[in-house]
Amino acid sequence: MNFCLECGIQLVGNPLSAAKTEILPTAGRSVATVVLPKKKSRKYFWIFGGLASLLILLLLGFITTLYLARRIGQNKASVKTPTPVISPTWKSSPTPRKPANIGSSNASVEPPETEETTAPDPSFTPPAKPTAQGVFNVKADKNWQLSNLDVVPNEKFVLLAVGNINLREIEKNVSPQGIADKKYQTRRLFPEFPVGALLMRTRYADGKYSKISVVATKNSTGIWQNAPDERGRLEFCINDNAPDGNDGVFVVSLAIIEK
């Protein structure tokens, strides 16, 4: 039981009965000090508040991560890969007439007018401007093939050929230089050039054409220059008088230097 220290009356049903009392000496008499217990509600408030804050931070972090991942994916999708200068998928452009190879040993000949050396009459207007850049695929199983690579007089350009073809009953993986072995001379469309070699000439709008040249040789620089009267469109051929059954393509790439 609890009693009042001043009057000695018993304290009953005091709401502070659960509180601790401390007796402190002051000026010759004792004074009872009530110490109230700490409230547990505040403790739980801070615990739940901390947990709620942590959950909110985690949720915000998750949302931010999703947003950044989406933005990065959109940026990657919007990046375009640059197209290489030489690509088999490029479309070729018009062509010139009689290219003269600079700094190489490519030979040129004036072929006779035969069924093997002629192509269907072209139908195009003489170009006023040359093709600045273009690519053309030369098929191994075809004869002369007119490209869309236009050339004009005195134009200087680089012409490169890549790829391999298969010559029926002769050899596989033949380069644009062809096969110089004389045992295959009977398959040469033009005896002056190796069998399977990539040949080129300039077709004029009136149906005539320039001298024939080999596109690639061992010491070729790939640099060509047109004659002062050379205006037309390039056409190409595989040096094979029996192209049926061949397969593969040579990819020819043209880039203008001067015009």
Which segment of 23-27, 88-92, 150-154 scores lowest on mean pLDDT? 88-92
154: left (phi over 0), alpha (psi -120 to 50) or beta: left
98: left (phi over 0), alpha (psi -120 to 50) or beta: beta
Q: What contacts 96, CB < 8 A, 6 or more positions away? A: 130, 149, 150, 151, 152, 155, 157, 202, 226, 230, 231, 232, 233, 234
72 confidence band (pLDDT: 50, 70, 90): low
What structural domains and CATH numbers belong to the chain? 2-35 (no CATH), 99-258 (2.60.120.430)
Is the dihedral angle over the CA atoms 166, 147, 206, 201 positive or is it negative? negative
Using the structure block, give the residue that is written with the tokens 């479309």.
91
Determine the pLDDT at residue 50: 77
Phi/psi of residue 68, nearest 5 degrees: -65, -40
Q: What percent of the chain has pLDDT over 90?
A: 49
Query: Whole-model pTM?
Result: 0.57
Determine the pLDDT at residue 28: 53
For the CA atoms of 154, 113, 109, 240, what is the dihedral angle to 10 degrees?
110
- Strand 156-162 to 232-238 pairing: unpaired
Digit-coded pLDDT (tens) for 160-182 = 999 999 999 999 999 999 999 99
Digit-coded pLDDT (tens) for 119-143 = 555 678 999 999 999 999 999 999 9
